[in-house]
Amino acid sequence: MIAIIGGGKMGEALLAGLLATGYEADQLLVTEPNRERAEELHARYGVAVVPPADSASRAGTVILAVKPQDMVELLDRIDGDLGSDTLVVSIAAGITTSLLEKHLSGDVAVVRAMPNTPALVGRGMTAVAGGAHTGDGQLDHAESLLRSVGEVVRVSERHVDTVTAISGSGPAYFYFIAETMIEAGVAMGMTRAAAKKLVTQTIGGAAAMLGDPGAHPVVLREAVTSPGGTTAAAVRELERHGVRTAFTDAIEAARERSRELSEG
């Protein structure tokens, strides 16, 4: 049995992803304190919505999908109900494996996962790191569950803040670029709808090409950049304005902020 505690957007995305990848409704439990939301999830997916104690005691894997500020209270509440062999997976930002272990009795296996928002449409990127008592098999299981909403990579926990800065915050960087490109098109006389369609398809197509085995961003960029051409002129302006350095600094700033949040 798999339990998801927290029926927000990410919790629902995992629920829908698990059902879409072969799990049956009777293999899943959901805990959601908001009654209206709980009834909505039950009606939409047919899963049982139960109190936290039931999720903790009945499930072999418990996925914690609550807000970071609610995590400690939840851990203290379910600690006595977890089985000795229960796997606990947290997808809350900034919650370390050591914090999870501090509030759970015994040698409970915990996994810290950092998904990003494209998981909401099944195209997420999630990084996972295991705690002190987590074995490879348990990490494999956590990865298989999270793969229901996208790709998964296993990392050392010391790299999770970097993951947060690159893929956790990453969608916002692309939205920022898309917004800028759309506004440029509008300023040059295009309709907003046409500019958005051009930008959306361009970014999606470029991402698909980058995902091909063996593809490298430098090679792909050079293939578009003819000597003395329009792209060369554009790239020259980006370099002149220090865009590469700005992005590096932005990612470093996001990583440092992630570290601050993780340390409380």
Contact between residue 203 and residue 175 where contact means Cβ atoms under 8 Å apart: no
Q: Given pLDDT bands bounded at 50, 70 and 90, which one contains residue 84?
A: confident
pLDDT at residue 118, rounded to an integer: 95
Confirm or deny that 67 is annotated as ligand binding: yes
Confirm or deny that 68 is annotated as ligand binding: yes
Neighbours of 132 (CB within 10 A): 11
Owner of token pair 């008592």: 133
pLDDT tens by residue, 14-32: 999 999 999 999 999 999 9
Q: Report the C-alpha gap between 150 and 45 in whole angstroms.
A: 20
Is residue 49 within a helix (H) or strand (E), and if so which, with residue range?
Answer: strand 48-49
Pairing of strands 61-64, 48-49: unpaired
pLDDT tens by residue, 219-248: 999 999 999 999 999 999 999 999 999 999
Confirm or deny that 8 is annotated as ligand binding: yes
| CATH numbers and ranges of domains, the chain | 2-155 (3.40.50.720), 163-263 (1.10.3730.10)
pLDDT at residue 157, rounded to an integer: 94
**Mean of the per-residue pLDDT values of the chain:** 95
Confirm or deny that 66 is annotated as ligand binding: yes
Confirm or deny that 205 is annotated as ligand binding: no
Confirm or deny that 7 is annotated as ligand binding: yes
Query: pTM (2 decimals)?
Result: 0.89
pLDDT at residue 262, rounded to an integer: 81
* Mean pLDDT, residues 83-96 taken together: 93
pLDDT tens by residue, 133-159: 999 999 999 999 999 999 999 999 999
Is residue 126 within a helix (H) or strand (E), and if so which, with residue range?
Answer: strand 124-130
Neighbours of 72 (CB within 10 A): 14
pLDDT at residue 264, rounded to an integer: 67
Q: Report the C-alpha gap between 105 and 80 in whole angstroms.
A: 8
Confirm or deny that 229 is annotated as ligand binding: no
Q: Give the 3-state DSSP-derived string for 176-211, with helices as H, strands as E and coil as C.
A: HHHHHHHHHHHHCCCCHHHHHHHHHHHHHHHHHHHC
Confirm or deny that 2 is annotated as ligand binding: no
Q: Report the C-alpha gap between 42 and 34 in whole angstroms.
A: 12
Confirm or deny that 65 is annotated as ligand binding: yes
Higher local confidence (pLDDT), 237 or 264: 237
Q: Given pLDDT bands bounded at 50, 70 and 90, which one contains residue 261?
A: confident
112: three-class secondary structure by DSSP: strand
- Percentage of the chain with pLDDT > 90? 95
Confirm or deny that 196 is annotated as ligand binding: no
